[in-house]
Amino acid sequence: MIAGNTNVAESRMECASFHAVDIEKSLFFGQKFLGVRNGQPISTMDGLINTVQNAASGNITTLGATTSYTQLIAALDPVFQQNTDPMNPNQRILFCGGVARNVLHAIARLNSTYFVQQQETSWGLQYDTIKIPRGTFQIIEHPLFNTNSAWSAMAVAVDLSTFNVAYLGDRKTQNKEYGINNDLADNGMDADGGTLTTEMTCVVKNPPANAVIRGFTAAAQG
C-alpha cells in the first residue's frame, strides 16, 4: 500500500483510475450495441472513431508503407471542409500513439532543412504543431494509444468544439459499496468492495470536422 493510506482508500483510488481509463477508451474506441446480457438489457455507445467512420468515411485514411508530407496533407485536409467555429482559426487536436508521432517527426525531418550552430548545446528535432495550408494541428501523444501496436500507429484529429459527453438524464457516476459501513449486503463475501457505474454517451455534432489516420509506418520525402 501507499504509505499513509488504508487498503480501502487505495482501492478506491485505483478503481476510480481504472474507471476513468474505461470511459476515455470508450470515447475513442466505443462501438454501439443494444442487446441483452445475463438476462439484463445492455447498451454501449459509439466512440469518436466509429462515429466518423459511419458518418464521414472519407475522413478515414489507411496509410501505405511510407507517408510523405503531401500524403499527410491529403489525409488531414478534409477536416477543414466545414468550419464549425467561425470565431476561431482552423485548429484541431491530433491525438496519436508513439509510432505515429515518430513518423510525423520523420516526415518533418525528411522534408525540411535545419542547421546546427556551434554554440548549440542540444541537438534533435521535437515539435508539437503541424501546419498545413488550411489549418494547424496540435500533437498530443495519448498514453492510451500506446497500449497496443495498432493504436500506437494511429492518429485522430479532433475538433473539440464538435465533441462533448452527455450524461443520460443528468446522472453522474454512481458509486455503490459493500462491506463498508453496511452500505450493501456483501452476499457472504469476506471483503470490502464496490462498483462505479457511469451512464453516458459520446456526442459528435459534426463528424466531418474530425479524421482518423491509421497505419503510420515510415516517412518519405514528397
Q: What pLDDT, in 10s, does the model give residues 165-197? A: 887 666 778 887 776 665 555 555 555 677 888
Helix (H, G, I), strand (E, B) or coil at 142: coil
pLDDT of 192 reads 65
pTM of the model: 0.84
pLDDT beyond 90 at 3? no
Gap between the Cα atoms of 206 and 11, Å rounded: 39
Distance between CA atoms of residues 193 and 42, nearest Å: 23
Decide which of 10 and 151 is more confident.
Answer: 151
Calculate mean pLDDT across residues 21-25: 92
How many residues are recorded in the chain?
222
State the pairing for strand pair 155-158/91-96: antiparallel
Contacts 24+ apart (CB under 8 A), 3-9: 7/192, 8/180, 8/192
Across the range 107-126, mean pLDDT stands at 87
8 Å CB contact between 207 and 52: yes
User: Which residue did the predictor score with more confidence, 50 or 169?
Assistant: 50
pLDDT above 90 coverage of the chain, percent:
56
- Cell numbers of 184, please? 450493501
